[in-house]
Structure 1
């Protein structure tokens, strides 16, 4: 069964897609949840940021399973784990769509303040191109329904 990373900026729909995949019987992990990340600095980097806790992530990705695993997240050290994923999927959306989603969401308070929105916009300009370069699939979540996105992700299972 494939391991699939769903990455992208805040407000692109990662959590929503993961919830739908879980409801369809897939194993899902939202790494924004407690226990998967820690605040730290990559070797040779000056800026701190969220990093996956490496031992739990390695264990998760190595575990045998009978259903596909979809991992959602966007952290500074995720590239280290790309070889353990069968697919890297970038969820993207125009800034205006992301901003409106951030304003309306209720399950996560991040992205509502002006400072957080400025940070996300900076990441959209600086980080998203790096994510795009590492992805083998990009899905624009503003152009597809959640069901269409889930269908495209489940279709990766047949390729992986």
Structure 2
């Protein structure tokens, strides 16, 4: 099985692309949901990108993600999400695709969201935290990525770029 991770900061298009990939018949799983992730209480250590919220962080459920990636059958599995523990799964992946977008695009998307309230809370403080995380975490994600796609353009163009990675031509 070919396994691909779409990762990136909030509002870079992970969930939108995962749904579009699933609509094309691929097995695609958004890990940024309660079924695959959970909040953990943490002590802030001022490490870059931690935590997502004061005193807590959003992490993937190790057991469930391990089981998901254990399938050795034929086909393609696309997973998406961003978590401080995602690096432990990189050895099981064929590609890690960083989805990025200019900060102005991310800010516009956060303001326009209708299916996810993250980035809209606490006045502008939560949106500012997202932008801070882009500056702190995106370089870390970039270092572990095998590909990077700017998602600031039209969805169809971005989807085509992702699908070229998901199903590479010989």
TM-score by length of 1: 0.90
**1:146 equivalent in alignment to 2:159:** no
Secondary structure of residue in 2 paired with 1:158: coil
Distance of aligned partners of 1:130 and 1:66 in 2 relative to their CA distance in 1, 3 Å threshold: same
The CA RMSD measured in Å over matched residues stands at 2.0
Secondary structure of residue in 1 paired with 2:98: strand
| Deviation, structure 1 residue 122 | 1.4
Paired residue total: 158
| Deviation, structure 1 residue 96 | 0.6
State whether residues 25 and 67 of structure 1, in contact with CA within 8 Å, keep that contact through their aligned partners in structure 2.
no
CA distances 1:108-146 after superposition (whole Å, capped 9, x unpaired): 01111312112111111111100011101000001x322
Secondary structure of residue in 2 paired with 1:127: helix
Secondary structure of residue in 2 paired with 1:51: strand
How far, CA to CA, are the matches of 1:64 and 1:83 in structure 2? 14
How far, CA to CA, are the matches of 1:3 and 1:130 in structure 2? 21
**Which 4+ runs in 1 deviate beyond 6 A?**
none
Match of 2:59 in 1: 51
Distance of aligned partners of 1:65 and 1:41 in 2 relative to their CA distance in 1, 3 Å threshold: farther
| Deviation, structure 1 residue 73 | 0.4
How far, CA to CA, are the matches of 1:14 and 1:65 in structure 2? 24
Structure 2 gaps of 5+ residues are 46-50
Match of 2:7 in 1: 7
**1:98 equivalent in alignment to 2:115:** no
Structure 1 gaps of 5+ residues are none
TM-score by length of 2: 0.85
Distance of aligned partners of 1:25 and 1:79 in 2 relative to their CA distance in 1, 3 Å threshold: same
